[in-house]
Amino acid sequence: MNRTDSFYINGEWVAPLGDGRFQLINPATEQPIGSLAMGNVEDAHRAVAAARAAFGGWAATSREERKRLLTRLLELYNAASDEMAALMTTEMGVASSFSRNAQIALGRAHLETAIRVLGDFAFTEQRGETLLSREPIGVCALITPWNWPMNQLVVKVAPALAAGCTMVVKPSEFSPLSALRFTQMVHEAGFPPGVFNVLNGDGAIVGDALARHPEVDMVSITGSTRAGVAVAKAAADTVKRVHQELGGKSANIIFADADFERAIAHGVRASYLNCGQSCSAPTRMLVPKDMMQHAARIAAREAESIRTGAPEQPDTELGPVVNARQYQHIQGLIESGIKEGATLVAGGPGRPASLQQGYFVRPTVFADVLPTMRIAREEIFGPVLSIIGFSDEEDAIRIANDSIYGLAGYVQTADKEKARRVAARLRVGNVYINEAPWDAGAPFGGYKQSGNGREHAEFGLSDYLELKATAGY
SS3 for 55-105 is HHHHHCCCHHHHHHHHHHHHHHHHHCHHHHHHHHHHHHCCCHHHHHHHHHH
In contact, 52 and 106? CB cutoff 8 Å: no
In contact, 91 and 153? CB cutoff 8 Å: no
Q: Using N-to-C axis directions, what is the helix angle for 63-79 and 105-120, rounded to 10°?
A: 160
Q: In the annotation, is 245 catalytic?
A: yes
Q: In the annotation, is 261 catalytic?
A: no
The catalytically annotated residue of 245, 302, 455, 458 is 245
In contact, 11 and 166? CB cutoff 8 Å: no
Rounded distance, CA 430 to CA 411, Å?
11
Helix or strand (DSSP H, E) at 14 = strand 12-14
In contact, 245 and 225? CB cutoff 8 Å: no
- Number of neighbouring beta carbons within 10 Å of residue 20: 17
The catalytically annotated residue of 279, 302, 317, 455 is 279
* DSSP string over 403-460: SSEESEEEEE-S-HHHHHHHHHH--SSEEEETTPPP-TTS-B--EETTEES-BSHHHH
Q: Buried b vs exposed e over 276-305: b needs ≥16 C-beta within 10 Å?
A: bbbbbbbbbbbbbeebbeebbebbbbbbee
End-to-end CA separation in angstroms for the chain: 53
DSSP 8-state code for residue 204: I
Rounded distance, CA 224 to CA 263, Å?
29
Which positions are catalytic? Answer: 245, 279
